[in-house]
Structure 1
C-alpha cells in the first residue's frame, strides 16, 4: 500500500508518541493489513480518510484503536527453545543459589504480549516443584497493548496458539480445552500477574527483579529510545540480576548497565554501579 508523505508522518508519529515504537520504511507494508479490521469497524475507506479523522476533536478513542492495531503482538510459547533451556539449566539454578537466604525470586516479562512468554517461565517452575518448594516466585508481565494484556489475563488460546511451542504433554498438563479454546490451568495462571504498562515509563513497582526478559521489543525503537528503555530495564534489575534480550538485540553501545554473560548471546548481567564499566556514558557529540 502506497502512503502519501502526510499520512506516513501522521501514522508514524502517532505510534511513536504513544509507545516509543517506530515504523521504519521497511515495515510500512503492514500498515494497511494491520488497520483493515479498524477500517471495517469504523467504516473508513483508506488511510487518508483515517488521517483526516485523527485531526478532528474527540479523536482520543480512535487514536488508541489505531495504536492497538499497529502493535505487533507476535509471540508463542517457549519462543527460541534453546534460550528457555538455558533459563532452566543455568540462570534459574544460579538465582536459586544466590537467593537461598530469602527464597524469593522476582521475574519481569517486559513486552509480554498475550502472555505466552510469562506462562512459559511459570511452566519451568511448575515442572520442578521439589526445587522450588517453599519459595516465593513472583512473575510480572507487562505490555503497552491493552488488548494483549486483556488476552493474557484471560489465559485462553486458540488451537493454533496452543500448538506453537508446546508439546502434547504440556498442553494436557497445563491447559484445559473449553469451547474450542485452551484455558491455562488456574494454578499455573495464578503464578503470573499481568499489567498494562509502557517500558519507557519505568519498571513495575516493588523490589528490583532478579530476572528481566525484554525480547523483540527494542527492535522497534530508535537508538535514542533504546537508551531510555535500557535505563528503565537497569532501574528494574537487581544489582546481580540477569537480563534476557531477543536473538537480534544487543546492549552494545547503548548502555553500560549490562554486560554480556558467559553463557551465550542474548543473556546479560547487571553491572554493579561502583565498577568502572558502569560509569556514566559520555554525552553524544552535538
Structure 2
C-alpha cells in the first residue's frame, strides 16, 4: 500500500498522514485504506485534546522528536479498530459450543484463544456461555486466553467495565444482571466472570502466540485490516498454535480461500477453518 493517494485530512498534511499510517502498519500490520483516511482525524481528536494540540501535524512533530516514548503507543491505541460487541454473530457461539463438546469427548479440557479481543466482549461472551453450561450440566470450563495489540484495550478488558451502550449490545437483561454489577452508569463484570479469562498483550505479527496449543482460535474481523503479505505471516503462526484438528474462526466477511494454503474450510462446522489433513502431524 502507498500513502500518496490518501486524501488530505482537514488537520493533517500529506506528510503527517504518511507518518501516522506508516506507524500503525509498522506496529500492528494494520492498514488504513484510502477511503478511510478520515479515521485519522476522528480517532486522534481525543489525543489532540489531551495534549492541547490543534493539528495532527503538531502531534507528528512530537512523535518524531522522540522525547516522549508513550506518544507512539497512544497513537496506535487510538487508531486500532476496536469495534466489538457481546455475542457478536450468535450462530458462531452456537457452533463454538458444539465444537467444544466435540473436544471434550476425547476427555480433554478445551483451550480457546481469542486473538484480537479488543475490550473483552468476545472472551467474556464465551466465559458467560460456558459458565452457564457448567451450571446446568456440570460440564468443565474451557480455558480462555485473550490477546490484543493495544495496551489500552487490554487494560479495559481486564477491568471488565462497560458503558450502558456497550453492555446493551448483545446482552439480554438476564445476563446483565447475572454477570455484572452496576457502578454509577457503568456495568462491571463480576470477579468470578473475569477470573475465567486470561488476558495478555500480543502483537499478532511480531510476537509469539500464547504458550501451548489451542483447539479453537477466534480471530474475527482482524485479518481484514492486514496486507496480503502480512496475512501470509500470520496464518502459519495461527496454524502452528492449533492442535491437530483444531479450528480457526474468522469474521463473517472473511475467508482463507485465495489467502493461504495452511487452512481450508471445515467439513464439520460451516464458516470455520482447519488445517488440511495432510499437514497435521
Taking structure 1 as the reference length, what is the TM-score of the superposition? 0.89
Alpha carbons of structure 1 residues 84 and 236: separation in structure 2 relative to 1, 3 Å: same
2:133 counterpart residue number: 128
Q: Runs of at least 4 residues of structure 1 off by over 6 A?
A: none
Shift of 1:272: 3.9
Task: Flag structure 2 segments of 5+ consecutive residues without an equivalent.
Answer: 1-8
Query: Which segment is superposed worse, 45-54 or 13-22?
Result: 45-54
Shift of 1:5: 2.5
Q: Give 1:270's match in structure 2, choosing from 271, 275, 281.
A: 275
Specify the SS of the correspondent of 2:209: coil
Q: Give 2:156's match in structure 1, choosing from 151, 156, 169.
A: 151
Deviations 1:49-80 (A, max 9, x none): 22222221314321111111111111110011
Residue pair 2:134, 2:140 contacting (<8 A) in 1 also: no
Residue pair 1:244, 1:267 contacting (<8 A) in 2 also: yes
Q: Give 1:13's match in structure 2, choosing from 10, 22, 45.
A: 22
C-alpha separation in 2, matches of 1:266 and 1:65: 35
1:282 counterpart residue number: none
Query: Which segment is superposed worse, 201-210 or 30-39?
Result: 201-210
C-alpha separation in 2, matches of 1:234 and 1:138: 18
Specify the SS of the correspondent of 1:119: helix
1:49 counterpart residue number: 58
Shift of 1:212: 0.5
Alpha carbons of structure 1 residues 106 and 203: separation in structure 2 relative to 1, 3 Å: farther
1:163 counterpart residue number: 168
Task: Flag structure 1 segments of 5+ consecutive residues without an equivalent.
Answer: 279-286
User: Following superposition of structure 1 onto structure 2, how do residues 1-286 of structure 1 map, counting pairs within 5 Å?
Assistant: 1-2=9-10, 3-88=12-97, 90-97=98-105, 99-100=106-107, 103-129=108-134, 133=138, 135=140, 137-262=142-267, 265-272=270-277, 274=279
Specify the SS of the correspondent of 1:109: strand
C-alpha separation in 1, matches of 2:139 and 2:132: 15
Residue pair 1:145, 1:196 contacting (<8 A) in 2 also: yes
What is the count of residue pairs matched by the alignment?
A: 272
Shift of 1:160: 0.9
Specify the SS of the correspondent of 2:64: coil
Taking structure 2 as the reference length, what is the TM-score of the superposition? 0.90
Residue pair 1:110, 1:213 contacting (<8 A) in 2 also: yes
